[in-house]
Homo-oligomer: A and B are copies of this chain.
């Protein structure tokens, strides 16, 4: 197998090769994470630990580590920076759950439900500050620039999403802008910073950025599709959560665009909060299937997944590249 002709059709892709690839490095990252989420204020490690120990895959720090392996970096600076990336992500999750009023994440009660919104907001702020302290300790202004910019872009994307909420006329372009900002920007930065610490070329930086960005978009597209195909028991996410919140995601955008007048009225009512019962959700599921809105959301995900794979085609073949390719395949296959 060579990467350039690799296709997204191998049976049962798994995250296992990526986990294996970075297992040793991830132990070092976990040590940094556990050490640096500590505080003299007991609520901080208690609340942060709930989320950090709560079954997340640590996808973003894994990408930093895998990217470093792909380009042959042999130092340890990326351990601290991978922890920094995970802190930014954790802070974002804490604030997201407050913003969305979520009560369940990865099958567990959210921190805002257990400790309240104020604690989630403030511990998020703490982790965000800590992430910058870690970057400052590393000392690369270029890494600081990449991650401070990614953080600003994420926040802008979240506000963009907030103002787009319950707007049935949101198109695919603006939706892509939103997920590019709120999800893909940190995936991209997580990969890019490894090329920075390894002092690789702008071209290699850009290639890793593109891998992360396209994987991030694919990842979010599949997440948004899952809301219309899964149930909380299997995915740790409530199926229908997005629907009940009137969240505009690609399945809705496509189903609305392809629906008849009745269907469109249904979607408008749903997105504007006038239809959120179980029966309404059952109808939504039926509509997204009949219009192939979920299928085509997943087809879009495969498109971005293929772009992610092609972005790293120029790097040497080997265990790291194979694992990073299979991680993409896993990401786009999750909904099946």
Contact status of A95 and B139, CB under 8 A, knowing A43-B163, A149-B133, A156-B41: no
Q: Once the chains bind, are B159 and A126 in contact (CB under 8 Å)? A: yes
Contacts of A119 in B (CB 8 A): 159, 162
Q: Once the chains bind, are A132 and B148 in contact (CB under 8 Å)? A: yes
Q: How far is the CA of A3 from the CA of B100 in the complex (A)?
A: 54
Which A136-169 residues have a C-beta within 8 angstroms of B? 136, 139, 141, 144-145, 148-149, 151-152, 154-156, 158-160, 162-163
Q: How far is the CA of A29 from the CA of B136 in the complex (A)?
A: 24
Q: Contact string, A152-193, partner B, CB cutoff 8 A, digits 1/0?
A: 101110111011000000000000000000000000000000
Question: Is A123 engaged at the interface, CB distance under 8 Å to the other chain?
Answer: yes
Q: Once the chains bind, are B159 and A122 in contact (CB under 8 Å)? A: yes
User: Interface centre among A128, A133, A135, by most B CB within 10 Å?
Assistant: A128
Q: Report the nearest B residue to A181, measured CB to CB.
A: B41
Q: Once the chains bind, are A132 and B159 in contact (CB under 8 Å)? A: no
We find that the number of chain A residues with CB closer than 8 angstroms to chain B is 43
Q: How far is the CA of A129 from the CA of B144 in the complex (A)?
A: 11
Q: Once the chains bind, are B117 and A98 in contact (CB under 8 Å)? A: yes
Question: Is A198 engaged at the interface, CB distance under 8 Å to the other chain?
Answer: no
Q: Report the nearest B residue to A125, measured CB to CB.
A: B155
Question: Is A31 engaged at the interface, CB distance under 8 Å to the other chain?
Answer: no
What are 5 contact pairs spanning A and B, CB under 8 A? Answer: A41-B156, A95-B122, A98-B121, A125-B155, A133-B145
Interface residues of A (CB under 8 A from B): 39-44, 91-92, 95, 98-100, 117-119, 121-123, 125-126, 128-130, 132-133, 135-136, 139, 141, 144-145, 148-149, 151-152, 154-156, 158-160, 162-163
User: Beyond the given A119-B162, A129-B155, A130-B152, could you list 14 further A-B residue pairs with CB under 8 A, ordered by the A residue number?
Assistant: A42-B163, A91-B125, A95-B121, A95-B122, A98-B117, A122-B159, A123-B159, A125-B154, A128-B128, A129-B148, A129-B152, A129-B154, A135-B148, A136-B144
